[in-house]
Structure 1
Amino acid sequence: MSEKNVPILDKRSSRRTFIKNSGLTVGGVVLGGALGSLLGKDSSTQTQETAVHSEATASNANIALMYFTPDQYRITEAASERIFPKDENGPGAKELLVAYYIDHQLSGAWGMGSKEYSSGPFFPGEATQGYQGRQNRQQIFEIGLKGIEDQSLKTYEKSFIDLSEEEQDAILSEFADGNVKLKGISSAHFFGVLRTATIEGAYADPLYGGNANMEGWKMKNFPGHQMSFVNIIEKEFTKIEPMALNSQHKH
């Protein structure tokens, strides 16, 4: 990750270091709750989803949104690109369709928090306890995205998507540091949720909407979902072209 992206990583870290060191926590292995809402789809739905994703890869104008409004999508796309920007290592969040992934996750159980306890009373939690509020992720994103746009208009008199990269970074830094007042949540918490979802969208199986063309995996030499390693398990290191879940349903 480029060193100018202060909200994302310490300035001492590079995106190359981040990619090398993050393999145990991403890559479609421990993404858990954010992936759950689509696991129940039958093969016909998967085929339809794959077709939409392929079309979306070619042109973001053709994306079929499931939760976001077009404006919310564009803000998410711009913000996630600053969190995971395109550089010499490979594509950024925009080309990986991270915002498309987030849109789909928000439309399901993860977005609605349907598997989480959400009844009161609500009390401020300790830092080690995580989020203790009443808003689900759909509401958190609605509040947070509106906050990004409002802060942009207040600071630069321009929409967030029309800002320069440096100006967008400055806005997101304010959110990451918790300096922007939002209704019901802290800006730092929203930024944390956005950042986590961005990383998930870059590395999750393409079946869920992001990681377009498995480019996120290719940057990490992650093999994806192979049926077997029997033929190479006792051989020298072998570089394998990644396979997505939907590739195993093509009969």
Structure 2
Amino acid sequence: MASKFVLDFPLMFLNREEAAVIDALVGQIIPSEPGSPGAREAGVTEYIDKALAGFLRELQPVYRSGLIALAEFTAGITEGRFHDLADGQQEEVVRQLAELSERDPSDFAGQFFRIVREHTVQGFFGDPAYGGNRELVGWELVGFPGAQWGYTATQMAPDFNTRTIPMLTIKDLYSRIGGAQ
């Protein structure tokens, strides 16, 4: 069976069942590997939930309808709810959704998949202030130093190792100037 959803943050828009489905879906979009955390560990579900309660609130109906479309799509492939399926079955559903989204851009289930995939990337690589990228796992993966006031000419050189620059978040920058968040 796929790993179970652990609710370790307050839900702001999604209910627990919806959050479990989104968590399973983002876990297939950016899966964990040994030594490499994925979307679940990065808190992408929290990012999506916060975004839907805030700056992406106009997408609330899309997510509600999209979760229904995902359930119907899953039922056409296998028995069971998406988040209760084994990893291999979830992978197959996601593979078929990805193919559908390319083959028929007007299909709603495929459109929803593309939206969730985009939000997964945002939550994995965005600043932790927005709810995702826990422990800076996304930035660590690609060697991005995060929020910086600027870069020196040496740091801008093509062969410079950006992993030597201390990673900073928006919160870190605010604390350096003594400002409130």
Q: TM-score, normalised by structure 1?
A: 0.59
Cα distance between partner residues in 2 of 1:187 and 1:234: 42
Deviation at 1:96, TM superposition (A): 0.4
Deviation at 1:172, TM superposition (A): 2.0
Show the counterpart of 1:86.
Answer: 32
1:182-235, Cα deviation, whole Å (9 max, x unpaired): xx9621111111111111110001110101111100111101112343495488
Deviation at 1:146, TM superposition (A): 1.9
From the superposition, tell whether residues 234 and 154 of structure 1 become closer, same or farther in structure 2 (CA, over 3 Å): closer
Cα distance between partner residues in 2 of 1:67 and 1:185: 25
From the superposition, tell whether residues 247 and 234 of structure 1 become closer, same or farther in structure 2 (CA, over 3 Å): closer
From the superposition, tell whether residues 147 and 164 of structure 1 become closer, same or farther in structure 2 (CA, over 3 Å): same
Deviation at 1:149, TM superposition (A): 2.6
Tell whether 2:178 aligns with 1:249: no
On the 8 A contact 1:96/1:212 being kept in 2, the answer is: yes
Instruction: Please tell me the residue identity of whatever aligns with 2:44.
Output: V
The range that moved more, 153-162 or 204-213, is: 153-162
Unpaired stretches in structure 1, ≥5 consecutive residues = 1-58, 113-136
Q: Give the fraction of aligned pairs with identical amino acids, expressed as a percent.
A: 26
Instruction: Please tell me the residue identity of whatever aligns with 2:42.
Output: L
More helix by share: 2
On the 8 A contact 2:70/2:109 being kept in 1, the answer is: no
Show the counterpart of 1:208.
Answer: 130
Show the counterpart of 1:99.
Answer: 45
Show the counterpart of 2:94.
Answer: 172
Instruction: Please tell me the residue identity of whatever aligns with 1:61.
Output: L
From the superposition, tell whether residues 157 and 222 of structure 1 become closer, same or farther in structure 2 (CA, over 3 Å): same
Show the counterpart of 1:67.
Answer: 13
1:37-61, Cα deviation, whole Å (9 max, x unpaired): xxxxxxxxxxxxxxxxxxxxxx943
Deviation at 1:169, TM superposition (A): 1.7
Deviation at 1:155, TM superposition (A): 3.9
Show the counterpart of 1:145.
Answer: 67
Unpaired stretches in structure 2, ≥5 consecutive residues = none
Tell whether 2:113 aligns with 1:191: yes
- Of 160, 163, 172, the residue aligned with 1:237 is 160
On the 8 A contact 1:178/1:186 being kept in 2, the answer is: no
Over the aligned positions, Cα root-mean-square deviation in angstroms equals 2.6
Q: TM-score, normalised by structure 2?
A: 0.79
Compare relative contact order (CA 8 Å, sep 6+) and give the higher one, 1 or 2. Answer: 1
